[in-house]
Amino acid sequence: MKSVVIKQPNELVIEERPLPMPAAGEVRVNVKLAGICGSDSHIYRGHNPFAHYPRTIGHEFFGEIDAVGEGVNRSRLGQRVSVDPVISCGHCYPCSVGKPNVCTSLVVLGVHRDGGFSEYAVVPAHNAWPIPDAIADKHAVMVEPFTIAANVTGQIAPTEQDVALIYGAGPMGLVTVQALKGVYKVKLVIVVDRIDERLAMAQRSGADWVINNGERSLQAALDERGIMPTIVIDAACHPSILQEAITLASPAARIVLMGFSSEASQIVQQAITGKELSIFSSRLNANKFRVVIDWLEKGLIDPEKLITHTFDYHHVTDAIELFEKDQRQCCKVLLTFSQ
């Protein structure tokens, strides 16, 4: 089989590898589609501290089960599945409180273990989530990105009376916009970014109001309308955002961080306690595949609005470069494998 392998930072090859056999409790997935995410590019460029090389990247993928290991029901052969990349031990403290995404021995497919940019991938059987026939292949491959949003909203339980401010109209921001509007019917969703084309994508995904903070002050724009957000989500992930979020937030607001910056954020306690703000963080997803498959079945979200490009996997380098360089036109880039 062919796999997309990062041999070392900045060296990507499409390599012939032996067809893997599923071990006990595992299934083999004949991959049909995979999505490119920022973390794939970070591993390619050597910017992901968790990655070991060589590595088959890809943690957003969809395909069909074509072999099962010992102890897995053979009725699963032929099943269409999306794969949850989070592999957890099931018994440590975070696992015991429903947060397998931060398991003390966490393994993420495509990061710590070979992932889905490959003609075949072997994964634990319970990580392969059956996809109902009514959900198209290219929507099924988008389940994982939407689980990022499901994990955020799972932390803060949005209601219709919330006013949400989202920093960043990249893929993570946009899936969150769709969840807040489509699933939770939040009355006002505001998106701030410095790229107009991305703000236009946010509007297509349901944002009620978009602000280009490269052109005008966000604080002034909100003050003008007397708006204090009750939810602030940082999907832009810059260390300076946290203090601004604290300043802009309504009393009793919830703030969610999604970033991985290792730089310090300078913050002042006073407004956090003065307004009794709750600050959450969100990483990957904690058992959210079932939730998102349900959203898709009910038509509450529309992955179509986020898919901007599709490439055959032989052109994976072009696809990743486009994803990295063209933030104006590009949102989700898909790779096709065996069709």
Task: Specify the DSSP element, H or E, that contains 108.
Answer: strand 107-108
Query: Please, what sign has the CA dihedral across residues 276, 281, 285, 286?
Result: negative
Task: Specify the DSSP element, H or E, that contains 333.
Answer: strand 332-336
231 three-class SS: strand
Selected from 56, 88, 127, 153, the binder of Zn ion by CB under 5 A is 88
Q: Which stretch binds Zn ion (CB under 5 A): 14-22, 97-105, 155-163, 271-279?
A: 97-105
Q: Which stretch binds Zn ion (CB under 5 A): 101-109, 111-119, 173-181, 212-220?
A: 101-109
Q: How far is the CB of 144 from Zn ion (least distance, A)?
A: 6
Q: Which is nearer to Zn ion, 59 or 254 (CB)?
A: 59
Q: Which stretch binds Zn ion (CB under 5 A): 103-111, 196-204, 231-239, 271-279?
A: 103-111
Binding mask 33-62 for Zn ion (x = CB under 5 A): ----x-------------------------
Q: Which is nearer to Zn ion, 172 or 248 (CB)?
A: 172
Q: How far is the CB of 42 from Zn ion (least distance, A)?
A: 10
Instruction: Give the distance, in angstroms, between the CA of residue 25 and the centroid of all CA atoms in the same chain.
Output: 26
Task: Specify the DSSP element, H or E, that contains 254.
Answer: strand 254-257
What Cα–Cα distance (Å) separates residue 76 from each residue in 30, 109, 125, 126, 173? 13, 21, 9, 11, 34
The Cα 330–Cα 201 span in angstroms is 10
Q: Does 95 bind Zn ion (CB under 5 A)?
A: yes
Instruction: Give every CB contact of residue 327 below 8 A, 6+ residues apart in sequence.
Output: 170, 195, 197, 198
Q: Which is nearer to Zn ion, 103 or 123 (CB)?
A: 103
Q: Which is nearer to Zn ion, 34 or 253 (CB)?
A: 34
Q: Which stretch binds Zn ion (CB under 5 A): 82-90, 107-115, 230-238, 242-250?
A: 82-90
Q: Which stretch binds Zn ion (CB under 5 A): 29-37, 214-222, 235-243, 261-269?
A: 29-37
The Cα 47–Cα 34 span in angstroms is 21
Q: How far is the CB of 132 from Zn ion (least distance, A)?
A: 22
Q: Does 89 bind Zn ion (CB under 5 A)?
A: yes
The Cα 88–Cα 86 span in angstroms is 6
Instruction: Give every CB contact of residue 154 below 8 A, 6+ residues apart in sequence.
Output: 286, 288, 291
Which tokens in the block code for residue 299?
């038509």
User: How is 51-68 classified by DSSP, letter by letter?
Assistant: --SSEE--S-EEEEEEEE
The Cα 216–Cα 193 span in angstroms is 11
Q: Does 92 bind Zn ion (CB under 5 A)?
A: yes
Q: Does 141 bind Zn ion (CB under 5 A)?
A: no
Q: How many chain residues touch Zn ion (CB under 5 A)?
A: 6
Q: Does 103 bind Zn ion (CB under 5 A)?
A: yes
Q: Does 267 bind Zn ion (CB under 5 A)?
A: no
Residue pointed to by tokens 């832009």: 236
List beta partners, residue 209. Answer: 190
Q: Which is nearer to Zn ion, 23 or 89 (CB)?
A: 89
Q: Which stretch binds Zn ion (CB under 5 A): 32-40, 41-49, 120-128, 289-297?
A: 32-40
Q: How far is the CB of 85 from Zn ion (least distance, A)?
A: 8
Contact residues toward Zn ion (CB under 5 A) are: 37, 88-89, 92, 95, 103
